[in-house]
């Protein structure tokens, strides 16, 4: 992604040699309310046309804890969170047409958008073994000493990694005020777009445990798909693949979107 940003910046620079008042840098104010820093660069490449790029980064944080294990398998009890990291990246190149020229007044533009969000969690849980699972334990296995043979339970540690990728584009309407030929207020009051998403997640278990997670794949898939029956834009279908120590889920879907922003900055 860094290479893409560099190439776009070089392309904008090559289109019009550096000169006074042809460049602008802006800060998107609305992004601060949801914990992200979003910087925009805009450059005049004609009397009435500009090209720009917006780059946003979410400030790493935690989100409310959610345990899919307890929701999809009754065998899980006493789940505690031990890690929770959320991060994200947004890149939006765009072109604008200003009828008045000089990068001010009303504009109509087109944009593309790429976003990538990641959430990594880890949790400890107590897993209640079924009678069949307990009776099939291998006394020579490393995990055998960790089993609570009185309650037929074993403590496990799992990683859960979620990813959401977005690719889309659309049209943007807005107005940009230029104050004292230097300071900028940019209000993109409405944008209409369409986005394609891919959500994915992986549950992986650390260490040697006597549990075959592949047997949960169908139940997890049915549970997620049932929760998506009321999805307003089509009926996305989840695919879940299981192995001895992991479950992987993937959900592709698409949806229209609106875009609005307010930024301040300066020309140079």
Q: Digits of tens for pLDDT over the chain (268 positions)?
A: 554 444 445 544 554 444 458 999 999 999 998 889 999 999 999 999 999 999 999 988 887 766 655 555 567 777 778 888 999 999 999 999 999 999 999 999 999 999 999 999 888 888 888 899 899 999 999 889 999 999 999 998 889 899 999 999 999 999 999 999 899 999 999 999 999 999 999 988 888 888 888 888 888 888 888 888 888 887 788 899 988 788 999 999 999 999 999 999 999 9
pTM above 0.75, yes or no: yes
Q: Which domain holds residue 96?
A: 2-267
- Could you give the number of structural domains in the chain? 1
- Closest to 113 measured CA to CA, from 98, 92, 140, 130: 92
Cβ neighbour number for residue 167 with a 10 Å cutoff: 14
* Predicted pLDDT at 215: 82
* Predicted pLDDT at 4: 46
Q: Are 29 and 264 in contact (CB under 8 A)?
A: yes
Q: How far apart are CA 194 and CA 234, in angstroms?
A: 14
Within its chain, how far is the Cα of 149 from the centroid? Answer: 42
Q: E strands along the chain, which residues?
A: 23-28, 36-44, 49-58, 76-97, 105-128, 153-179, 183-206, 239-242, 246-267
Q: How far apart are CA 118 and CA 130, in angstroms?
A: 34
């Amino acid at each position: 992604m860094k290479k893409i940003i560099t190439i776009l910046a070089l392309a904008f620079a090559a289109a019009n040699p550096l000169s006074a008042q042809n460049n602008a840098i802006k800060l998107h104010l609305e992004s601060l309310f949801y914990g992200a820093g979003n910087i925009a660069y805009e450059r005049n490449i004609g009397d009435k046309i500009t090209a720009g790029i917006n780059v946003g980064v979410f400030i790493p944080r935690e989100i409310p804890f959610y345990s899919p294990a307890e929701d999809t398998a009754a065998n899980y009890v006493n789940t505690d969170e031990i890690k929770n990291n959320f991060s994200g990246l947004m890149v939006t190149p765009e072109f604008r047409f200003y009828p008045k020229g000089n990068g001010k007044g009303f504009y109509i533009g087109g944009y593309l958008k790429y976003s990538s969000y990641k959430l990594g969690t880890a949790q400890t849980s107590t897993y209640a073994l079924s009678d069949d699972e307990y009776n099939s334990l291998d006394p020579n296995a490393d995990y055998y000493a960790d089993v609570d043979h009185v309650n037929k339970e074993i403590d496990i540690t799992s990683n859960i990694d979620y990813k959401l990728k977005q690719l889309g584009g659309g049209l943007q309407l807005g107005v940009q005020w230029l104050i004292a030929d230097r300071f900028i207020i940019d209000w993109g009051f409405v944008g209409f777009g369409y986005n394609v998403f891919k959500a994915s997640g992986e549950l992986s278990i650390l260490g040697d445990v006597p549990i075959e997670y592949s047997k949960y794949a169908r139940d997890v898939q049915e549970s997620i798909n049932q929760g998506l029956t009321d999805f307003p834009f089509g009926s996305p279908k989840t695919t879940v693949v299981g192995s001895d120590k992991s479950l992987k889920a993937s959900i592709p879907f698409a949806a229209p979107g609106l875009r609005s922003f307010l930024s301040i900055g300066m020309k140079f």
